[in-house]
Amino acid sequence: MIIVHHLENSRSQRILWMLEELGLPYEIKRYERNPETMLAPPELKKVHPLGKSPVIEDTDVQGVGVIAETGAIVEYLVDKADGKLGAPANRGDALRYRFWLHYAEGSMMPPLLLKLVLARIPIMGKVAVKKIQPMIDVHLDYVESELEQRPWFAGAEMTAADIMMSFPLEAARSRGGLNESRPATIAWLAKVHARPAYQAGLKKGGPYAYA
């Protein structure tokens, strides 16, 4: 059994979606953010020293312990499911898969997070945000150009790379300037949100502002 330590309105929603796609049994332990600071509660530090989510435990396998970081969890689940949602057989698609799997958090998410933090700073924060948006636009234009060429990030079929890309693109739709001016990306998001597994994970996960 997979235990998911799930924080509301967080990256861990991707893990619930992935588990639904894979058909793996799981249990959710929910955590709520501090309503004033929006930070994770201190209880999560009892699970992992960083006190962040997602974090999973696999009670079926001895010696695994706690697994943190979304990308590491996603790769673990692909292995557990014997490669389902993993890298495609085609070499070019496999390279794209690995790229997008790491690009989501390594390149696209940082400026979005920076914009969120700066937007909360009075006066000077608003000035700084105007300088961050052009950086985000570069990423959004790049994503749009790629999704114009193929239905999913790695190729013809949905993979874990799409699951990884969902959070930054949902965040971009909410606060990063993603709109109908980039129709391929908007269509991809709509396609993701319509998937039964996504809807099932959303129902089980509770509050998620970006869906």
Between CA 117 and CA 25 the distance in angstroms is: 36
Domain CATH code at residue 166:
1.20.1050.10
- For 52, the token pair is 């962040």
Q: Encode pLDDT of 146-193 as tens digits.
A: 999 999 999 999 999 999 999 999 999 999 999 999 999 999 999 999
Q: Is residue 54 situated within a structural domain?
A: yes
Q: Is residue 210 situated within a structural domain?
A: no
Strands 2-7 and 66-68: unpaired
CB 77 within 8 A of CB 84: no
Q: Where does the pLDDT of residue 211 fall: very low under 50, low under 70, confident under 90, or very high at 90 and above?
A: low
Question: What is the pTM (predicted TM-score) of this model?
Answer: 0.94
Our count of domains for the chain comes to 2
Mark whether 137 and 64 lie in a shared domain: no
Which residue did the predictor score with more confidence, 116 or 91?
91
Q: Is residue 133 situated within a structural domain?
A: yes
Mark whether 105 and 74 lie in a shared domain: no
Mark whether 98 and 22 lie in a shared domain: no
Mark whether 137 and 201 lie in a shared domain: no
Mark whether 118 and 67 lie in a shared domain: no
Can you give the residue range of the structural domain that contains 6? 2-85+197-205
Is the confidence at residue 194, as pLDDT, over 90? yes
Mark whether 101 and 73 lie in a shared domain: no
Give the angle 131-136-140 at the CA atoms, nearest 5°: 150
Mark whether 25 and 75 lie in a shared domain: yes
Between CA 111 and CA 100 the distance in angstroms is: 16
Q: Encode pLDDT of 93-139 as tens digits.
A: 999 999 999 999 999 999 999 998 887 777 667 777 888 999 999 99
Mark whether 111 and 174 lie in a shared domain: yes
Mark whether 71 and 136 lie in a shared domain: no
Domain CATH code at residue 35:
3.40.30.10
**H-run or E-run covering 111:** helix 109-119
Mark whether 76 and 99 lie in a shared domain: no
Contacts of 83 (CB under 8 A, 6+ apart): none
Between CA 55 and CA 41 the distance in angstroms is: 14
